[in-house]
Structure 1
Amino acid sequence: MSSRRATLLRRQNEPLQASFLELFFDLAFGFALRQLSFVLLAELSLAGAARTALLLLPLWWVWAVTAWFSDWFDRTNRWVRALLVGVTLGVLLMSVAVPDATGGRAWLFAGAYVAIHVGRSVVTAVALRGHPLRLRTLRILAWFAATGLLWLVGAAWPAVRVPAWVAAVALDYAVPRLGWPIPRLGRAQPGELRLRGEHLKERYQQVFIIALGELIVTAGVAYAATGLAVAHSTAFLLVFAATVLIGLLYVTPAGGQLGAAIDERDPARFGTVPSYLHLVMIAGVVALSGAAELVITHPAERGSGGAVLLTVAGPGLFLAGRVALSAVIDRRLSWPRLLGLPALLLIALAGHALPLLGIAAATVAVLLVVAVSGRWLARAVPEPRTGR
């Protein structure tokens, strides 16, 4: 085994803090989220929501796999740095394609996605030749090459585009939990998939802040385009309050033990779970971003069914993801957050009788009650060993 090849891998004493290039990559992902909110607003229907979800899934998977990549490899290595820069460019290209990704820009979207995963795996497989951990990279490369064919077939033939992409993204999400199994090469062992919990916890927090930042930018741009009347100003303040409450609900009750859970649990089983649940929460922020523009621009209007559902879906998706994250870490349910979900459902059912401003105020009230009750419960009941 060559020591030169081994230097590509993570060093034992490498700092857990995110590197500059990781944060730079997050900025590109923030642009992707903004593009997705535009797609969602362009078609307020179940079909529009499904289309947005189909585009969010591969974008998020680029972020998640890149987070694992930057944890497995030495971020000071020039090849690793070059790959992070290349992935950032790839995400920007995917983001540019998002508005017409299922149409005329399908090749750009799918091609950039495949190039990111296959290109990164090829470079690391070549660099690690002769090293035992090369097998992990070869398994990942084989699967991304296989699903890449589905992505490219979908880009080439519009008639099969959606089913091919759905199948591809389903495989991309499923095979990591199985250890990327390959005939004769087997599947990756837990030691090969080990991740540093504190580094991953920090990365999830940072990307969630980026998502909230995109929401703030959307609200600010929408508010600046209005006449700053009382109704518009009230809507803007409600969106800001929702953003603050969602941020607080994400990080509290304090605990902060996601990192410890990642370190302690079987990485083959638990390693992908935080990525799946953060996807749900990020989807909620994207929905809330779209709703923010509607509420601030048209606060007094009674929304259509799509506008009402969008306004409630953002907080609902976030709470669902956050409840599930608490459950898998604590092995128990967070009742204040869980009870917020039926309250939001009631708002959705009664939403046709309210202006968008009223729906926004009601959802903020639910988030406030959930946040306050959660804080009270955290003080009244001792936290479990793993926190929340």
Structure 2
Amino acid sequence: MVTTGEPAVGEKRVTWAELYFDLVFVFAVTQVSGLLHHHHDWRGVAEALVVFVPVYWCWVGTTVQANIRDVDNLRDRVGILLVGLAGLFMALAVPGAWGGRGVLLGAGYWLARVVLVVLLIRVPGVWRGPYGVGVLVSGPLLVVGGLLPDGPRLALWAAAAACDLAAPVLFRRRLAAVAYHPSHMPERFATFLLVALGESIVGIGATAARARLDAPELTAVAAAFTISAGLWWQYFVYAADAMRHAVEVTDSRRDVVRRIFQYGHLALVAGVIGVAVGFGETVADPWRALGPGAVALLYGGCGLYLLTFGYTRWMMFRKVATTRITAALLVLGLLPAMINLPALAVLVALAVLLVALNVVEHLIVARVATGEPGEPGEAPEASPAAIPTPSSPTVIPTPSSPSAPAAAE
């Protein structure tokens, strides 16, 4: 069992229990997308985000617990399945979270946090860290909020989400001694992003299956799929290996895990969910003008996704992701002009932009690989110029780490 001390070495495989556990969150992401599909205004986005954070944080807590311990045993398999059941309760509650199922959402989350604390009860300091915050603060806030009307409920649930998100920062010194397996963490978060990208495929297919599927509809399907594939390409071709490298060579895995995986992937997944919901508004009726709500989800989600790579690259390597930030600003700048255009034109324009971005980054990577000079900060994350060599392992500056053991998240 690995919880504290020196950084873990060697490969740590994802267990079958974890992969089965992920299936619950495939359904949960679909439910959150459905909630957002019915409410495109700012309040609807806020309500969907406040509901999504505890769902995501439940998954994060289980993933970190599986990372720092050996969970391929009877006790932990049963524990992971119990958290999965709690996650299923939460997913079932999402469509009525702002109605009569608020208590079910809160109780499901609280149950998940209690199970995780029980699984980690032998770890010194588990109560004085993020897991304790989930049991003692955010879980009760979610349950009590479920008993209140919409306005106070939103305020209390937002406070619960803020507590969970702030806990790794507030307890960062206590988490300094936690030993994370560097191979397991990137794989798990990449899997969750795949779950979200799968929702974008559902957003295309579920809508198109009910359409006439004439040439305009099929063209819209092709454009939407190109967008989804372009988002996949940005992460899994250009960023995934760089993220894994960063967590392997950094002096502080705690900071990489918190900044890049826990926070960065929350934004990446939220962006993909926005795009997925936007697909549901575009494919079935390609000649209809979308209006501000659907375009904001589609282009805003894509812009958030690309801007997040600017954040992750700076956190990992202190380099500017010039091409992605430029593309994100272009996407967001085009948003107002797309509101009154047919859905097909909106999809094609975004697809062309993402293909162009990936082509440019491919050319930059190829040029850097052959040793040709480029502008500082120009190369994408996966290029040799973007990744520091093992001889200079410090990626993220960190303060001195205390020796006190603590549970991680």
Answer yes or no: same fold by TM over 0.5: yes
Offset, 1:138: 5.2
Match of 1:172 in 2: 164
Within 2, Cα distance between the matches of 1:220 and 1:164?
A: 36
Structure 2 unpaired stretches of 5+: 369-383, 390-394, 396-409
> Measured at CA, do residues 253 and 57 of structure 1 come closer, stay the same or move farther in structure 2, by a change above 3 Å?
same
Task: Give the SS at the match of 2:36.
Answer: helix
Name the structure 2 match of 1:56.
52
Q: Which amino acid aligns with 1:93?
A: F
- In structure 2, give the amino acid aligned to 1:384: A
- 1:255-292, Cα deviation, whole Å (9 max, x unpaired): 71322322424244332112111111101111111111
Deviation at 1:7, TM superposition (A): 8.9
Q: 2:244 aligns with which of 248, 255, 259?
A: 259
Counterpart-to-counterpart distance in 1, 2:186 and 2:127: 23
Q: CA deviation at 1:161?
A: 1.0
CA deviation after TM superposition for structure 1 residue 214, in Å: 2.0
Structure-1 separation of matches of 2:93 and 2:388 = 42
C-alpha distance 224-138 of structure 1, shift in aligned 2 (>3 A): same
Deviations 1:6-40 (A, max 9, x none): 69999968852211111111111111111111111
Q: Does 1:30 align with 2:26?
A: yes
Structure 1 counterpart of 2:386: 384
Picking from 137, 140, 147, the partner of 1:149 is 140
Match of 1:311 in 2: 298
Q: Comparing both chains, which one has the higher relative contact order based on Cα–Cα distances under 8 Å and sequence gaps of 6 or more?
A: 2
Distance 1:268 1:208 in 2: 20
Q: Secondary structure at the match of 2:366?
A: helix
Q: Show the counterpart of 1:344.
A: 331
2:176 corresponds to: 190
> Which residue number corresponds to residue 217 of structure 2?
232
1:276 partnered with 2:276: no
What is the match of residue 323 of structure 1?
310
Partner of 1:3: none
Q: Give the structure 1 partner of residue 376 of structure 2.
A: none
User: Are residues 254 and 324 of structure 1, via their aligned partners in 2, closer, same or farther at CA, if it must alter by over 3 Å?
Assistant: closer
Residue equivalent to 1:204: 189
User: Secondary structure in 2 aligned to 1:135?
Assistant: coil
Task: Identify if the C-alpha distance between structure 1 residues 356 and 78 changes in structure 2 by more than 3 Å, giving closer, same or farther.
Answer: same
Q: Structure 1 pair 254/168, CA: closer, same or farther in 2 (3 Å)?
A: closer
Percentage of pairs with the same residue: 26
Letter in 1 for 2:62: T
Q: CA deviation at 1:147?
A: 2.2
Q: 2:345 corresponds to which residue?
A: 358
Q: For residue 134 of structure 1, what is the amino acid of its counterpart?
A: P
Provide, for residues 53-108 of structure 1, a one-character-per-residue CA deviation record: whole Å limited to 9, x for no partner. Answer: 11111111111111101011212121111111011111111111111112210011
Distance in 1 between residues matched to 2:130 and 2:332, nearest whole Å: 40
The AA in structure 1 aligned to 2:235 is Y
Greater than 6 Å deviation, 4+ residue runs: 7-14
Q: Hey, what's the Cα distance between the residues in 2 that align with 1:76 and 1:135?
A: 23
Q: One-letter code of the match for 1:136?
A: V
Tell me whether 208-217 or 106-115 shows the greater mean CA deviation.
208-217
Which runs of no fewer than 5 residues in structure 1 stay unpaired? 1-5, 181-186
Say whether residues 1:248 and 2:244 are aligned partners: no
| Matched-pair contact (CA < 8 Å) for 2:105–2:143 | no
- Inter-partner Cα distance in structure 2 for 1:321 and 1:117: 28
Cα drift, residue 244 of structure 1: 0.9
Q: 1:247 to 1:7 in 2, by over 3 A?
A: closer
Per the normalisation by structure 1, the TM-score is: 0.89
CA distance in 1, matches of 2:336, 2:189: 33
Determine the C-alpha separation between the residues in 2 that align with 1:76 and 1:255. 25
Counterpart amino acid of residue 226 in structure 2: A
For the residue of structure 1 that corresponds to 2:213, the secondary structure is coil
What's the CA shift for 1:352? 2.7
Q: Is the 8 A contact 1:255 1:386 kept in 2?
A: no
TM-score (ref. length: structure 2): 0.85
